[in-house]
Amino acid sequence: MQVPRIGFNMFFYRDTRVGGMFYYAMNMLRELARKVPERLVLFGGRHLRNFVQGIDGLEKVSTRQIADASDIFDYRHEFDVLFTPAFWGGVSMLDYPTIHVIPDIQEQYHPEFFSSSELSRRRVFQPWAAISSTLLITISNFSKSTILEKFGVAAEKVRVTHLAAHPIFSDEREQGIRPTNMPDAREFLFYPANSWNHKNHRGLLDALVELRERYGWQVPAILSGHLLSGEFNHFDIPTEIRARNLQDHVFHIGRTDLRALKYLYSNAVALVHPSLFEGFGIPLVEAMSSGCSIIAARATSIPEVCGDSALYFDPHDHVDIAEKIKHVLENPAQADARRRLGQERARRYSDEKTADQTLEIIREAYELVAEKAAEKRIWASSANLPTPVLSVFISAGEMDSPETCAELARLRSEMPNFIQLIQVYTNASESPSDAGLLTESGCFEDGGDMRAALDKAVETAKGRYFFFVEGPSIPLRSFIYYLVEKEAIEAPEELLYGDSYTKHPKSGRIRDRIPIAEEHGDAVNMAYCSSLAFVVRSDVFRRFLKESGGGWSSFQQMALLLWPYCKRKRVYRIVNCVITSSGDLDWLWAKVKDRFPSDSSLGRFLGTPFGRCVATQMFRIYRVMPETVQQVVSDGLRAALHLYSSFPK
């Protein structure tokens, strides 16, 4: 089979600060541009041109500069599979197979390393990427086991493709270039890592103090990577070096390029890698490829990557780290044997192998979606059903657009025995221009009484399940294809939530909202939805109508009451998770709490029961505002917070 056309989403990559995942994305882009350039469509922001120059084959790749990730939807006819080499900022469309990459879910095990806003973001986007992807890629068996444990996705959905080092590290002819700011040191230890707390520079520095004071070893150490000063998870390496009086033999030289890294690995006595958490650990493979001895933490994915080629220590015990460094210094023959094992082991990791595995996963995702869609269409059109399975209730507004009329006409022709279309509108001005095409029964009440309109619509409904759709841009066919499977439509759940879309008022581009998913954290809330779709058993909804007092004016408001009313519910698919509407306010709330610590006046007030009560009432008022007012409030709060952040402290 020919490789499907691939949409390669690099939009949210800005620079190298995200660490190993940036290099993974670039390596995959480099390999796919070499292997299948004509089948590739590259999406990126204005930063894209800064780091893709010089990639062989890129001149044959179609490149699209976009202003927002949701703009990818405008180019959906140019690709068959959307591949996002990250978990954030992706776009997932039901009629297109999508693949995301989750390197690790560190926040599930070490939330202390994340600010409240970053933690909230990860707790939304990580489960969303896991659930919404057709197939999911992760970078180690360790990461796969944690994703299965925490997110409950099916094991057969998750694929493992290991990372690899740049070819320069295995090139024996390449000696590298000595960094100009490197001190004069004949023998030195090396650790390349950004200054995040989980990289455990503290443990390494404490171990170097232990070596000096207990054993008399004053071992030079070179540290490299970004100093992320001001960020929540930042460890102030220069200050901590001075605090331990290590400045004479421990040096931080900043970010280095590939040739400088090759020199450092090739000339170091050992790479010391004390990280507390790794989804994979590219420096480990870079060191093995360069013939550098490794002393590393026995934690998370590190033993999986290094095998017998590293000497391991307890990363929480600086004395153990010191003793393992001393062991390597005193036993060069053993270190050399492990070094040779590392060079041999490094051959199993290559970008070409990872790219080939990724292309196979892309083919599989494409075939999976295409075959399932075809099977569902055939089953739905040929099934000899006495009554329709789904009665589809369509909210009025703009449903007479040519695009929507064509969509509904295809639905009726493809699935004549499966669905029944019912339009609900609450006043004559919403009545469609072509009711014969759009509906089998139109119901309206003068004065806009949604309850009365639904009572009349339900009388004509014949389906075992009611499918509610609000908004003209929802891809109805895609939703229904996912519901056709008997095990899905005949599930014991009383309520199934699907994706939610809305069109941008100016550009007409589709932007998506987060549907409710209580199972995946408080950050996800039904109030985020603008347009939505959900399925409820007909008997449950009839009982709901009978027992509820009405008072709603839209499917969305009705859905807010239905969610707690139903005992069994399931989110079966989530599309393009972007935090909007009340999500914006949650993001701002997290930022405000970060900016105002508990010892500040506002922080103390927010920490009181009365303060929490006031904040809760404000959020409740916000969530019932019209969406246009919500946007004004969110924009105003963002501007105010930005202005406050610029004030000197």
155: left (phi over 0), alpha (psi -120 to 50) or beta: alpha
Q: Chain-centre distance of CA 512, in angstroms? A: 15
In a domain? residue 353: no
Note the pLDDT of residue 411: 76
- Can you give the length of the chain in residues? 649
CA pseudo-torsion sign 261, 221, 190, 107: negative
- 200 and 342 share one domain: yes
Strand, coil or helix: 91: coil
- Convert the pLDDT of each residue in 189-248 to its tens digit: 999 999 999 999 999 999 999 999 999 889 999 999 989 887 778 899 999 999 999 999
Question: Residue 523 — left, alpha, or beta (φ > 0 → left; ψ -120 to 50 → alpha)?
Answer: alpha
Q: Over the stretch 302-359, which tens digit does the pLDDT of each residue have?
A: 999 999 999 999 999 999 999 999 999 999 999 999 999 999 999 999 999 999 999 9
The CATH code of the domain that includes 272 is 3.40.50.2000
Position with higher pLDDT, 495 vs 117: 495
Measuring CA to CA, which residue among 582, 549, 581 is closest to residue 565? Answer: 549
**Which tops the pLDDT comparison, 543 or 429?**
543
Does residue 125 form part of some domain? yes
pLDDT at 439: 53
Contact 71, 509 (CB under 8 A): yes
Is the pLDDT reported for residue 473 higher than 60? no
Number of domains, the chain: 4
Residue 534 and residue 394 in one domain: yes
Question: Considering only 173-177, 416-420, 507-511, 626-630, which range has the smallest mean pLDDT?
Answer: 507-511
- 305 in a structural domain: yes
The sign of the dihedral angle between the CA atoms of 170, 172, 173, 177 is: positive
* Residue range 527-580, pLDDT digits in tens: 333 456 788 999 999 999 998 877 777 777 787 788 778 888 776 555 544 443
315/252 same-domain check = yes
Beta-strand (E) ranges in 86-208?
98-101, 135-138, 158-160, 189-192
- 3-class state of residue 630 by DSSP: helix
For residue 509, name the pLDDT band (cuts at 50, 70, 90).
very low
Classify residue 231: in a domain, yes or no. yes
Q: What is the pLDDT of residue 329?
A: 94
Query: What pLDDT was estimated at residue 519?
Result: 38
DSSP conformation class of 581: T
**pLDDT (0 to 100) of residue 186:** 82
The pair of three-digit structure tokens given for residue 50, joined into one six-digit string: 């800064």
The dihedral sign for the CA sequence 242, 245, 247, 252: negative
- List pLDDT tens digits, range 242-280: 999 999 999 999 989 999 999 999 999 999 999 999 999
Distance of alpha carbon 134 from alpha carbon 156, whole angstroms: 11
Query: What pLDDT score does 635 carry?
Result: 67
Choose the final residue of a domain: 133, 161, 189. Answer: 161
Domain that holds residue 593: 583-639
> Whole-angstrom Cα distance, residue 606 to residue 614?
9
0.85 exceeded by pTM:
no
Q: Are 432 and 400 within 8 A, CB to CB?
A: yes
Among residues 296, 322, 346, the one where a domain terminates is 346
Residue 423 has pLDDT above 70, yes or no: yes
Residues 184, 322, single domain; the answer is yes
- 220 with 297, same domain? yes
Three-state DSSP class for residue 394: strand
Write the CB contacts of 485 (distance below 8 Å, at least 6 apart in sequence): 372, 376
Q: What is the DSSP code string of 514-539? A: PPP-GGG-TT--GGG-SSEEEEEEHH
Q: 181 and 120 share a domain?
A: no
Which of the pair, 315 or 623, is modelled with greater confidence?
315
Q: Of 145-159, 418-432, 502-516, 614-628, where does the model show the most confidence? A: 145-159
Q: Based on the domain organization, do 111 and 18 belong to the same domain?
A: yes
Does residue 502 sit within a domain? yes
Residues 129, 31 share a domain: yes
Distance in angstroms (rounded) separating the CA atoms of residues 149 and 541: 34
Helix (H) or strand (E) holding 577: none
pLDDT at 527: 31
Instruction: List pLDDT tens digits, range 591-618.
Output: 566 666 666 676 677 666 666 656 655 6
State the chain's mean pLDDT as an integer.
80
Q: Give the single-character DSSP code of 3.
A: P
> Which of 346, 376, 393 is at the close of a domain?
346
Residues 337 and 446 in one domain: no
- Residue 93: the pLDDT is 66
Burial 626-639 (b: 16+ CB within 10 A, else e): eeeebeebbeebee
pLDDT at 641 over 70: no
CATH number, domain at 467? 3.90.550.10
In a domain, 289, yes or no: yes
578, part of any domain? no
pLDDT at 501 over 70: no
Residue 372 domain-assigned (yes or no): no
Tokens of 594: 């970060």
pLDDT top residue among 512 and 447: 447
Question: How much is the pLDDT for 645?
Answer: 58
pLDDT digits (tens, 9 = 90+) for 350-394: 999 999 999 999 999 998 887 776 766 666 666 677 778 888 888
Taking residues 412-424, report their average pLDDT: 80
Using pLDDT thresholds of 50, 70 and 90, give the confidence band for residue 517. Answer: very low
Q: Are residues 547 and 409 in the same domain?
A: yes
pLDDT in tens, 87-125: 876 666 666 788 999 999 999 999 999 887 677 778 777
Same domain, 187 and 205: yes
C-alpha–C-alpha distance, residues 596 and 591, integer Å: 9
> Do 150 and 180 share a domain, yes or no?
no
